[in-house]
Amino acid sequence: MSSMVTREGDLELEDTELRLGLPGTDGCKKEAFPSAKGSKRASQPGNLDASHGGCQNAPAAMKQVVGWPPIRSYWKNSFQPLKAENEAPGIYVKVSMDGAPYLRKIDLKLYKGYSDLLKALENMFKFTIGEYSEREGYKGSEYIPTYEDKDGDWMLVGDVPWDLFVPSSKRLRIMKASDAKGLGYGI
């Protein structure tokens, strides 16, 4: 495994040593990538945190490094990728609303986050949801959005980060706030 680049101030003299033998394995050095500062024209999607410790590069998602892979910004801005064909199928969950005659199904992958999802639900079922707060849930709402998680428990929508919510929700239920009375949520 080749030794990694060391950063400024960290004068590791082995790097500048002229050796005649084969490069030995120096063991793992901390890997640090340059910070993602490019010119104003850089338009890389989804800039991940570029620093991480450890030697193995096998994170779940691609590390973002400025100017790598070497693709022209001109091309990046003009190209429209193929959709659908190679993408994973959507995450469809049933949505029930108390008092509604039938259920609906939505694809959670279509929404960017909670506000997106709640707005869509508001439109779909023609109701309004109040503001979410960690302390008081959806205070002042007539309806409360809840979901059934993988353990079978009914949870309040909004408590966990969106990225954890999407794979863990099995179905949604929009409860009447009056049903939730006494539980400390809503009114």
Partner 1 sequence: MMQPFPDEVLEHVFSFIESDKDRNAVSLVCKSWYEIERMCRRRAFIGNCYAVSPEILIRRFPELRSLEIKGKPHFADFNLVPEGWGGYVYPWIEAMALAYPCLEELRLKRMVVTDETLELIAKSFKNFKVLVLNSCEGFSTDGLAAIAASCRNLRELDLRESEVEDLSGHWLSHFPENCTSLVSLNIACLGSEVSFSALERLVSRCPNLQSLHLNHAVPLDELPNLLRRAPQLVELGTGAYSADLRSDVFSNLAGAFSKCKKLKSLSGFWDVVSAYLTALYPVCSGLTSLNLSYAAVQSPDLIKLINHCPNLQRLWVLDYIEDSGLEALATSCKDLEELRVFPSDPFGAEPNVTLTERGLVFVSGGCPKLNSVLYFCRQMTNAALVAIAKNCPHMIRFRLCIIEPHTPDYLTFQPLDTGFGAIVEHCKELRRLSLSGLLTDRVFEYIGTHAKKLEMLSVAFAGDSDLGLHHLLSGCESLRKLEIRDSPFGDKALLANSGKLETMRSLWISSCSVSYGACKLLSQKMPRLNVEVIDERESSDSRSEGTFVEKLYIYRTVAGPRLDMPGYIWTKDRDSAIRFS
Binding residues with partner 1: total (CB under 8 A) = 53
Task: At 53, list the tokens.
Answer: 């410790």
Q: Which of 27, 49, 53, 80 binds partner 1 (CB under 8 A)?
A: 80
Q: If you write DSSP's letter for every residue of 152-182 in order, what string do you get?
A: S-EEETTSS-HHHHHHHEEEEEEEEGGGGTT
57 binds partner 1 (CB under 8 A): yes
Task: At 106, list the tokens.
Answer: 């939505």
According to DSSP, the β-strands at 132-133 and 104-107 are unpaired
SS3 annotation, 13-65: HHHHCCCCCCCCCCCCCCCCCCCCCCCCCCCCCCCCCCCCCCCCCCCCCCCCE
5 binds partner 1 (CB under 8 A): yes
- Distance in angstroms (rounded) separating the CA atoms of residues 121 and 105: 11
Q: What is the torsion angle, in degrees rounded to the nearest 10, for the CA atoms of residue 24, residue 25, residue 30 and residue 35?
A: 60
* Segment near partner 1 (CB under 8 A); pick from 76-84, 98-106, 123-131, 177-185: 76-84
* Segment near partner 1 (CB under 8 A); pick from 81-89, 105-113, 126-134, 155-163: 81-89
Q: How does DSSP classify residue 66?
A: T
Least separation in angstroms between residue 36's CB and partner 1 is 10
Least separation in angstroms between residue 105's CB and partner 1 is 27
72 binds partner 1 (CB under 8 A): yes
Least separation in angstroms between residue 32's CB and partner 1 is 10
54 binds partner 1 (CB under 8 A): no
Q: Of residues 9-28, which lie at the interface with partner 1 (CB under 8 A)? A: 9, 11, 14-19, 22-23
- Distance in angstroms (rounded) separating the CA atoms of residues 10 and 64: 23
Question: Residue 81: enclosing H or E segment and its boundaries?
Answer: none
| Closest to partner 1 by CB, 37 or 112 | 37
| Closest to partner 1 by CB, 5 or 103 | 5
38 binds partner 1 (CB under 8 A): yes
Interface with partner 1 (CB under 8 A): 1-9, 11, 14-19, 22-23, 33-34, 37-42, 44-46, 57, 59-62, 64-75, 78-82, 85-86
